[in-house]
Amino acid sequence: MKQELDYRNKFILAPMVRVGTLPTRLLALEYGADLVYTEEIIDWKLLRAERRINDVLGTVDYIDTTDGTTVFRTSPEEKGKVILQIGTASVERATAVGQMLQQDVAAIDVNMGCPKDFSIKGGMGVALLYDLPRAKAILEGLVRSVTIPVTCKIRLLPNIDDTIHLARELESTGISAIAVHGRTKTERPRDPVNEAAIARVAEALEIPVIANGGSQSIMRRNDILKFAKKCGTSSVMVARSAEWNVSVFRPDGPLQLEDVIRRYLTLSVRYDNSPSNTKYCVQMMLRSLQESPIGRRLLDSQTMQQICDIWDLGEYCRQTQLTYHDAGIKGRRTCRPRYLSGNENIEVDEIECKKLCLNVVGNGDPVIEENICFIRANFTKDTELPKTKLFMYARRNELQLAQYDVIQKDKLFKAFIYFDGKRYSSTFWEKNKRYAEQAAALVALLKLGVERREELVMDGAMMMDTKEETIEGLPCSFKPEKPS
């Protein structure tokens, strides 16, 4: 049976690349949005992901099997309100994605408005507006193959009559609504939005039209209503205004940015959002304040703990991450390559990884390991880098210099050090060769007594080992607060 979703009279968070992840979507709903779109996710990224129930977070995760990153995460709080936007140029891939995710999202939207070169060269985004047969085939395939509503998001064509003809053709595929960005593919946010053109499209169609592109004039919820009236629609999709301050949806007016950032960070920690994505979203909120002292601190941050420390949430972050770690959450710290190079049919398990390591380091001597990652922001001077410290240690003690070996599997790297008759490595697989070598050097320095475990924990480079361990007053028994 086909499910339905009412697109009329809705305040909607627009799809925004890198912004529309779970914390932002939940915050938009909390502040008064009715529906929230994910960021655009390319079809093949979803198709190579595995669906996993995350009991620790209470979420459903789609995990990239090549590097362990989260492609899409959703929680019960947004059930029935989250719409997946996909980038696609293929009927087969689009329908496969739809069937794969329809149990976890309220609807699927096809991006037909992105003007970026990446999308256009791949036949996606706004390129579909100039390939109507393909655009219709994708929508028709989705409408036939899934039980949830299907929509699309378009831009204006240079001629309004051509835009109306296009919209009617797309409507004929059976989609439930269409979002219209009131600019052409060559126009940018600084150009005025064509409200009259959106109104012409809305008048010509039977299905709901969602107006988009009015962020230059939107500062609060009442401005959203004014924009809807000018566009002749009952629903509005808000992008940049929400990116800058998502409390724009609040009926009582937007909140101070400081309060919004703190709430956003709380949700990011609660739902184990990636530090890089969290940092990007906060930077977008700060805008011109990125050059302020607080903005410079954010720019220098690399871990979630470092970001949260700026807004006095560092302790909450540390304790929450420790709780998740003890509960066995499958994050980057437990990521392993999925396949052996050259044979994608053989998965690499923990035993296979150890065999691989022995082959690299040679004679079978035991490898001394710790789960330590290298965080560049922790080392403000090149003279303080782990490899440099290990070099100086060898010189002072008249020892042979360390020898480094690195293996690469999929997109991940692991380094091994032979130093003073012992072998060292981190169990953490890094995303580049240089970081892998620095992480292995940190392990050696820790075991040699040059680095202190307490400082590495405080810097976010490693986790405490057991639930009983306490370091400098940081208790391990802690339950993260639920978002209020």
Q: Which of helix, strand or coil describes residue 197?
A: helix
Which own/partner contact pairs does 256-259 have at CB distance under 8 Å and 24+ positions apart?
257/285, 257/286, 258/311
- The answer to whether residues 39 and 18 touch, using CB atoms and an 8 Å cutoff, is yes
Measured CA to CA, the distance from residue 265 to residue 481 in angstroms comes to 13
Phi, psi of 391 (to 5 degrees): -60, -45
Rounded to 10°, the helix 257-270/22-31 angle is 130
Sign of CA dihedral 328, 331, 333, 338: positive
DSSP symbol at 159: S
How many Cβ atoms sit within 10 Å of the Cβ of residue 317?
25
Q: Is 114 a catalytic residue?
A: yes
Instruction: Measure the N-to-C terminal CA separation of the chain; round to a whole number of Å.
Output: 35
Distance CA 215, CA 192 (A): 10
Nearest to 61 by CA among 79, 43, 49: 49
- Both tokens of 28, joined, read 């938009």
Amino acid residing at 343: N
Strand residue runs (E) in 24-175: 35-37, 41-42, 49-54, 59-64, 70-74, 82-87, 107-112, 150-155
Q: How far is CA 367 from CA 8, 282, 382, 416, 432, in A?
A: 62, 40, 27, 8, 21
Running DSSP on this structure, what letter comes out for residue 335?
Answer: -
For tokens 């995460």, the residue is 73
Structure tokens of 305?
């703990």
CA dist 301 and 415 (Å) reads 24
Give Cα separations from 303 to 147, 309, 370, 382, 455 (angstroms): 40, 10, 18, 19, 14
Of 114, 353, 373, 476, which one is the catalytic site residue?
Answer: 114
How far apart are alpha carbons 439 and 148 in whole angstroms?
A: 46
Q: Where are the alpha helices (DSSP H) in 32-90?
A: 43-47
C-alpha distances in Å from residue 397, one per residue of 26, 103, 391? 55, 62, 10
**Angle CA 226–237–243, to nearest 5:** 100
Structure tokens at 32: 């008064």
Active site residues: 114
